Structure 1
Amino acid sequence: MDSPWQILGITSVAALGVYFFFTHGRRGRYRLPPKPWGWPVLGNIPQLIGGKGVYYKLLGFREKYGDLFRVQMGTQTLFVVFGRRYFHELLIEKGDIVSKRPSWLYTPHQLTHGKGIIWSNGKAWQTMQALLRKAQEDSTVVSALQRHLTAEYEEFQNYLKDESSTYSLEYLIRQASFNFLSAFLIGKRFGYNDSTFNEMRDKIESYGFSMATVNIENYIPLLAFLNKSKIQKATSDQEFVYGILRENVDERRRLTNDPPESFLQMYLSQPEDERMKEGMSELDALRAIVDMYVGGRDNLITYIKWILMTFAKYPDIQSKCRAEIQEVTGRDRRIRLDDRTKTPYTLATVKELLRMRAPVVLAPFHTPTEDITLGEYDIPKGSIILVDCKAPCYDGKAWSDPEVFNPERFLGGSEQLLPKSCFVPYGTGSRYCIGKYVGNIFQYMFTAHILQDFQIMTRHPDTELSMEDNFDIFGLRPQHFDEIIMKPLG
């Protein structure tokens, strides 16, 4: 049997071979985008570490190399796409060609085995995506979700108003976001002191970090061999979550004659032979639920933080939204989804926040099924493409003063006059973020509920609130959220 050191040596030589193939072997055949100088084997990884995160490092490369360039990540070459022009050309005009996910990244492959909604391909992905959308648009599911959200908010605000509570605002936001997703995905909420719920939430959070594409093991196979414990822990976390979900499957199977009120019930309401024919096994469904937890949780948490930051930063916008809501509901009833058309300024504020603080900044990787040309450059079949979803929302040709927070730009039908591919907070094309429908419900209702009960302020009202952010594994997070306080209205 080969020793570990022999295996490491062979792996290193193979990695070098792949590296030199990607850096030199394709030059003559393709007109490739420019790229920065990189280290052998490591490529540009050292240049992408530190500072305010990978996203800002890529922005630095963009300033030098333009809206389409390459970075070398160990053995993998990433084609990085910025700007509305390339965004539209890639995801809309060539959307069918680039809808596939790469199946050779180490951590996603080891943990998902091509199942779920994020890293799957082919028929299973398409049918699962269609079912997720159907669930989010189903009137019975939406009605149940609205009830769950109102109940969730009541618990959230009761803890927030309770001066004896030891829960921080950050913790309550995490709980509320996770519970809302649970209501949609499995049809139940959990108590804030439920130990099983809290362990499930923490394991999904830890698992999400293990799944992230920025993990260096995806680009240097040698490190994956050395750090097997990381995958083992993520696998253990996943199995724990699967165990809880399977209990819910067994529970919900007894309720399949009732109208589905969650994604899980809708999945189980499909005849079993039809599910198997469409490539939707129980494991596919469980994997999709975990994917929705991982992606949705961070998006909802980030949204709540940024809307609170925005209201504290712009008290006049906060007051205008509150006055509009109170005119529709008074103080005697809670906001409902059908109030959205009656509160256009509040809805416009939510959209403007999504434009400026899009939940999806860097979309999950795409890979073309054939050679493509983007602008004046070639992208070979099977390449990994990283797409920025923020730049189109700041495109100066589409938006007037894009750096200014201005809800009025979404009023009076002006949204209908916008060019395509400029308002894409959830990405676009066939691989858009499938959670956008349930996200829109949460964002509007939670925002309106908060405005009915709280004044959002800062701890230091005489100091201007900084909206500076950092990029972590999943997106852009406010650096100064700890300045936010929520004062109950009298």
Structure 2
Amino acid sequence: MWLVLLLFVIILGLFVYYDTKKPKNFPPGPPWVPVLGSALHVNRLRKQTGYLYRATAELANCYGPVVGLRVGKDRQVVLCGYEAIKEMLSREEFDGRPQGLFYETRTWGKRRGVLLTDEEFWQEQRRFVLRHLKEFGFGRRTMAELVEEEARQLVQAFQKRLEGFQNAGVVMSMHNAFGVYVLNTLWSILAGIRFSHSDLELKKLQGLLTELFANIDMVGCLFSQFPVLRFLAPEFSGYKQFLYIHQRVWHYLKAELDKHKATFQPAELRDFMDAYLKILMSDQKKSSFSESQLLAICMDMFMAGSETTTKSLGFCFLYLLLYPDVQRRAQAEIDAVVGRERLPSLSDRPKMPYMEAIVLESVRMFMGRTFSIPHRALKDTELQGYHIPKDTMVICNFNGTLMNKDIWGDPDVFRPDRFIDSQGSIFIPDQYTPFGFGKHRCMGETLAKSNVFLFTASLLQNFNFSIPPSSLPPTTEAVDGVTPSPKPFHALVTPRAVD
């Protein structure tokens, strides 16, 4: 009996020792406890600060810009400094994407798509996606026409809401006013269709996605860090909801793909889906091309492609409410450059530096609350002098660069002038990195910035936005999640008088 007990104590001691032992020269961070790693410490900080990005920023204040963690089974390194972020994003050793349950469940057991794949598979698919997105609109006249049409539709929707209330104006919900219009600019290129703002199925899907993004993190979620919980507590761990929402999106996209297949004409390619179908029907197709990969690409774009732009617009109008002087100055520039006889166009953009600065500042305010898409070390390597073992997840906390007082001086103030130099031209500091570096620079950067610019300029040309009477100013605190969003807020929208 005593021998069995002694053996148990020895085995338990060895387990505790090896399970809490950090790799040699691993980045500093909170101590690890058995099974949980540093999860309890991070979770406590998250509750204290309200956000995961603030929790890891607090850790960076204690341990430096490179913080080493272990959450459940996952070894993680969080980067909170510009030099560390730039080095990581510039080196091929960190070009991997995380592996495991969370990243495979979303695409039915295999990593697919372009956001969370890596190495040769990712390179092949990314080349194809970029080439054909450009062919059907990205960075071309077609894209400008698509964005301008959605801006026109958005203005008309606001005008319709104001019918009969011209003098008093209408109080409108603003944090979620842009989703369908942003999605349409992307989906027109991908699938050649635009959604109606009254599409009930789309509204249900967007509601589910909002719920999903509020309950997972860029580093995963409970069932990915403690996989056994998907069996023991599928609802508590988020596994059941995660599976259900991705299944709904998958079926929605599959229905559109089936329509494309039924009407496909190889000599008349209508959109990105058709271009991909042509490859699938070719004898020379490579192994990385498949129908499930096409659906995964569309799902990446559907879920992530519009999410960040929509939230950037939400933060933009939140701060325009709080800084009416910025709103007035933007309207003065719009009136001087465009006038009131036509809507703004993307060709006006080079002549409107203040509006461009508002775009940059809005993106900074949003992305300063976010993490990058996770990377994975493809081999044992070093970063900023620390040892990073193979398969460690490495992620950037953009709060450390975009909301850093040493860089911006007053990062919590919405001040577009910070991006305008003494000659009145746009000036972008090196530390402004919301879209990443190099090969992993965001594919949708051009479309995203075009959307924020034109939607904002078109609405400001035609309407004033103010805090509703008898209402408190909206909070700048966000809803935590994979990409934080503004808390629900409203604006009194009134038409601008025509001189």
Secondary structure, aligned partner of 1:385? strand
Equivalent residue for 1:428, pick from 432, 437, 440: 437
Q: 1:484 to 1:278 in 2, by over 3 A?
A: farther
Q: How far is 1:225 from its partner?
A: 2.1
Q: 1:397 to 1:200 in 2, by over 3 A?
A: closer
Contact residue 321 and residue 346 of structure 1 kept, 8 A: yes
Q: 1:22 to 1:486 in 2, by over 3 A?
A: farther
Question: Partners of 1:257 and 1:309 in 2: how far apart?
Answer: 47
Q: In terms of mean alpha carbon deviation, does 169-178 or 34-43 score higher?
A: 169-178
Q: 1:239 to 1:425 in 2, by over 3 A?
A: closer
1:101 is matched with which residue? 97
Equivalent residue for 2:311, pick from 290, 302, 323: 302
2:253 is matched with which residue? 242
Question: Partners of 2:60 and 2:335 in 1: how far apart?
Answer: 45
Equivalent residue for 2:178, pick from 173, 176, 181: 173
Q: 1:397 to 1:315 in 2, by over 3 A?
A: same
Does 1:194 find its partner at 2:204? no
Question: Partners of 1:387 and 1:231 in 2: how far apart?
Answer: 24
Residue correspondence of structure 1 range 360-379 to structure 2 within 5 A: 361-379=370-388
Secondary structure, aligned partner of 2:127? helix
Number of aligned positions between the proteins? 466
Q: How far is 1:168 from its partner?
A: 4.2
Secondary structure, aligned partner of 1:247? helix
Contact residue 139 and residue 446 of structure 2 kept, 8 A: no
Please list every run of 5 or more consecutive structure 1 residues that lacks an aligned counterpart in the other structure: 1-15
* RMSD over equivalenced CA pairs, Å: 3.4
Q: How far is 1:442 from its partner?
A: 0.6
Letter in 1 for 2:332: A
Secondary structure, aligned partner of 1:221? coil
Question: Partners of 1:407 and 1:231 in 2: how far apart?
Answer: 38
Letter in 2 for 1:127: E
Q: 1:182 to 1:162 in 2, by over 3 A?
A: farther
Does 1:220 find its partner at 2:226? yes
Question: Partners of 1:371 and 1:172 in 2: how far apart?
Answer: 46
Q: 1:267 to 1:161 in 2, by over 3 A?
A: farther
1:485 is matched with which residue? 492
Question: Partners of 1:407 and 1:225 in 2: how far apart?
Answer: 49
Contact residue 398 and residue 434 of structure 2 kept, 8 A: yes
Equivalent residue for 1:123, pick from 114, 120, 125: 120
Q: 1:163 to 1:279 in 2, by over 3 A?
A: farther
Q: How far is 1:204 from its partner?
A: 4.8
String of CA shifts for 1:257-316, please: whole Å, max 9, x gaps.
4575x4334544658438822723232121111111211232122112111122112212
In the superposition, the TM-score normalised over structure 1's length comes to 0.84
Secondary structure, aligned partner of 2:106? helix
Equivalent residue for 2:188, pick from 152, 176, 183: 183
Question: Partners of 2:427 and 2:454 in 1: how far apart?
Answer: 26
Q: 1:308 to 1:31 in 2, by over 3 A?
A: same
Please list every run of 5 or more consecutive structure 2 residues that lacks an aligned counterpart in the other structure: 1-12
Letter in 2 for 1:61: L
Contact residue 55 and residue 471 of structure 1 kept, 8 A: no
Secondary structure, aligned partner of 2:69? strand
String of CA shifts for 1:142-172, please: whole Å, max 9, x gaps.
1442354234324432454246999844453
Letter in 2 for 1:244: A
Q: 1:269 to 1:443 in 2, by over 3 A?
A: farther
In the superposition, the TM-score normalised over structure 2's length comes to 0.82
Letter in 1 for 2:317: L
Secondary structure, aligned partner of 1:88? helix
1:34 is matched with which residue? 28
Question: Percent of aligned pairs with the same residue?
Answer: 21
Question: Partners of 1:272 and 1:359 in 2: how far apart?
Answer: 43
Q: 1:396 to 1:418 in 2, by over 3 A?
A: farther
Contact residue 204 and residue 241 of structure 1 kept, 8 A: no
Contact residue 26 and residue 387 of structure 2 kept, 8 A: yes
Q: 1:467 to 1:409 in 2, by over 3 A?
A: same
Contact residue 42 and residue 55 of structure 2 kept, 8 A: yes
Residue correspondence of structure 1 range 10-159 to structure 2 within 5 A: 21=18, 23-24=20-21, 26-27=22-23, 30-49=24-43, 50-51=47-48, 52-92=50-90, 94=91, 96-104=92-100, 106-112=101-107, 113-134=110-131, 135-136=133-134, 137-139=138-140, 141-159=142-160
Residue correspondence of structure 1 range 320-399 to structure 2 within 5 A: 320-358=329-367, 361-395=370-404, 398-399=407-408
